[in-house]
Amino acid sequence: MGLSAILLGVLLLGIPSPAAAHDAAAPASLAPGTVALVLGALYMAALVRRHRGHRSAPSPAWAGALGTLAMVAAMLPPLDHAAAVLLSAHMSQHLLLGLVAAPLLARSAPVAVLAEVLPRSSRVRRLLHVPIPTFAAWCLHAAALWAWHLPPLYALALQRPAVHGLDHALLLGTGVLFWWTAMRGRRWPATALYVFLLGVQMSALGALLVTAPRPWFAAHGAGGAGLSGLEDQQLGGLIMWVPAGVLTTGIALALVARWLRTAERRSESPAGAAGRTAWLLVIAVVALATMACDASVPTAIEVAGGDPRHGRDLLRAYGCHTCHTIPGVPGAVAKVGPSLAGLATRGYVAGQPNAPGHLMEWIRHPQQVRPATPMPDTHVNEADARDIATYLYTLR
């Protein structure tokens, strides 16, 4: 345990200060790492004191170490340097802080463990045990997530390093607070619902970024790494939309499974069984409503902004059916080129991330996008390319 604490401290000492946030040329400061190292040492000392005499290493220690590593990965290069240019990298940082580091740090029971080193009469110790409703913690975390992605506040955070440090601190802090209050009560059905709703609002933010017709943030308007500003924003939205939704749904299902296993091991009263049935009905209704909202045609129209019916007809008019298999297009069963079935769910198209702007450019000028491609230039105009792309995004 001592060696792991030393290695962890070395990593923490390299964390750049908020004053050097997103500035590759700015020198790193030891102050934040020193504070983190002191808190980490207090935590490890209290953990040893609390579990003295136990043969096996307590699981909170592993959760704390992994959570800290996730935080370090989010705040250090190469991800932190990439976030200075790419919104998609910035979204990856927020995903690591909110959905990986925060629950792991909350699982490490920092409040209960650090309370061991405080005097019993300390006011701070008493404040640590003040009950905080999970709903209030959820609202605080949701407010922090949405507030820091509003264009004015986001721009201010990039312009002022201290504000940028506050941005990440609030996202991580409210995240830890939410996960700590949610896991503390061990009311797994309610916790599962809160986690699922957290994923819904993160997916909603991602969907807004994907469907926006222009970049939200001037600092990322030029793009980078071969992506335009709009393509970078769409990729960032997909990161916030899909991985966040999958991860929160998986955690929610795991919590429901844990609740069901616990209920099976103990005898329940009729009232308890009725309550469990009611929760299952709520979860089923929410899941069905979510699936119903995933209609492919409306989503495709929002993403690409065209007419899918006209796009389907244009695929025949431009002769695309002579080379590709295209579901829904009569006679489009050719195998000269790749099948276009499921195009909306693909991560890449023509060697680049699957974004509407790139797909439309590929439809219009394939020879310019990839000079060696056998796909001919059929002189598709911009409006037709948008309609074709819209129809292709209905293919899931």
Q: Quote the CA–CA distance of 314 and 378 in Å, as a whole number.
A: 11
**DSSP bridge pairs for 197:** none
Give me the pLDDT at residue 325, please: 92
41 and 163 share a domain? yes
**DSSP bridge pairs for 352:** 349
Q: What residue numbers bound the domain in which 162 lies?
A: 2-294
83 and 116 share a domain? yes
311 and 194 share a domain? no
207 and 324 share a domain? no
**DSSP bridge pairs for 333:** 325
Residue type, 278: A
Most confident of 115-119, 125-129, 289-293, 334-338: 334-338
335 and 259 share a domain? no
Domain end residue (candidates: 294, 322, 349): 294
pLDDT exceeds 70 at position 194 = yes
78 and 114 share a domain? yes
pLDDT tens digit sequence for 5-33: 433 443 443 444 443 444 444 444 444 44
Residue 166: pLDDT band with limits 50, 70, 90: confident
- Higher pLDDT among residues 165 and 389, named by residue: 389
247 and 325 share a domain? no
259 and 315 share a domain? no
Contacts of 236 (CB under 8 A, 6+ apart): 86, 87, 88, 90, 91, 206, 209
Number of domains forming the structure of the chain: 2
Give me the pLDDT at residue 314, please: 93
Give the predicted TM-score (pTM) of the model.
Answer: 0.58
326 and 254 share a domain? no
Give me the pLDDT at residue 243, please: 83
Give me the pLDDT at residue 56, please: 46
Domain end residue (candidates: 272, 294, 316): 294
Domain end residue (candidates: 236, 261, 294): 294
Residue 326: pLDDT band with limits 50, 70, 90: very high
387 and 248 share a domain? no
103 and 171 share a domain? yes
Contacts of 51 (CB under 8 A, 6+ apart): 58
279 and 332 share a domain? no
